[in-house]
Amino acid sequence: MASRGARSRGLPEGASDTALMMEVSRSNEAALEAIYRRHGGAVYGLANRMLSENGIAEEITQEIFLRLWQEPARFDPERGSLRTFLLTSAHSRAVDKIRADTARRRREDRDHREDPGRDRVTPLEDEVASLIVGDEVRAAVEGLPADEREAIGLAYFGGYSYRQVAEMLGTPEGTVKSRIRHGMQSLRALLAQSTGVEEGSAT
C-alpha cells in the first residue's frame, strides 16, 4: 500500500478538471479518484441507460477510467470539457457493445434478425424525454418535433445507426439523417447558453 500512498499527492479543494488531468498525467491517483467522484456516476448512468444487461455499464465505466489513467493525453481540453469527453467515450463504447452484440445474435439466431433491439433500450418518441435527467435539456428535447425527438432518441440512447433507424421506422435514410441534423441544431440553439453541466459545476 506504500506505493499507493506515494501516488496520491494532495489536491487543491475544487481543482478544475484540467488541473486534475494534469495531476493524472503525473500518475496522481487521488486526482483520478476526484474525477471519478465528479463524473463517474454520469459515465455509469449513461451506459446503464443504453444497455439493459447487468454488469456491462460497470465494465464500461471501469474501462473508461483505466484508459483515462493510462492515456491521459487523449483528453484535449481544446476539444471540449472533460465531462463531454468522458460521456462521448462512454457512449461510443456502449454503441460498440450494442452493435457487437447485435451482430453476434444475428449470427447465432436468425430469429433475432427481426428483433434487433431486444436487449437494448428502444425509446419511442414519447419515451425519449424520460431518459433525460436535466430539466432544461429535457424541456428542450420535449420542444422538438416528435419525429426528430424519436430519431435522436433511437440513435443516442438506442445506439442505432441512422440507417437502422430508417429501417425500423420505414422512413427514407435521407429523412432520418435530416431529422437528426435538424433536431441537434435546434438543441444547440436552445442550449447554447446553458453549459451548467460542464466542467467544475458538478460535485
Partner 1 sequence: MTSSHDELRELVAAYSLDALEPAETAEVAEHLAGCAECRAELRELRTIAGQLGTSDTAPPTGLWDRISEELVDDPPTPIASAKRGRSRRWVALAVAAAIVAIVGLGVLVINQQRRLDDAHREIAAQVEGQGAVERAARAAAAAPGSRQVALVSPQGDAVADVVIASTDEAYVIPRSMRPLGSGETYQLWGKHGSQLISLGVLGSRPTATLLSLPSGIEAIAVTVEDAPGVVTSHHTPIAGGSVA
Which phi-psi region, left, alpha or beta, contains residue 74 (left: φ > 0; alpha: ψ -120 to 50)?
Answer: alpha
Residue 181: exposure state from Cβ atoms within 10 A (0-12, 13-18, ≥19): middle
Residue closer to partner 1 (CB basis): 74 or 111: 74
- Report the nearest approach of partner 1 to the CB of residue 162 (Å): 5
**Could you tell me the smallest distance in angstroms from the CB atom of residue 108 to partner 1?**
21
CB closer to partner 1 out of 66 and 124: 66
Rank residues 35 and 111 by Cβ distance to partner 1 and give the closer one. Answer: 35
Cell of 62: 471501469
Least Å distance, CB 113 to partner 1, is 18
Smallest distance, partner 1 to C-beta of residue 182, A: 8
Whichever of 106 and 163 has its CB closer to partner 1, that residue is 163
Closest CA to 173 of 189, 151, 193, 192: 151
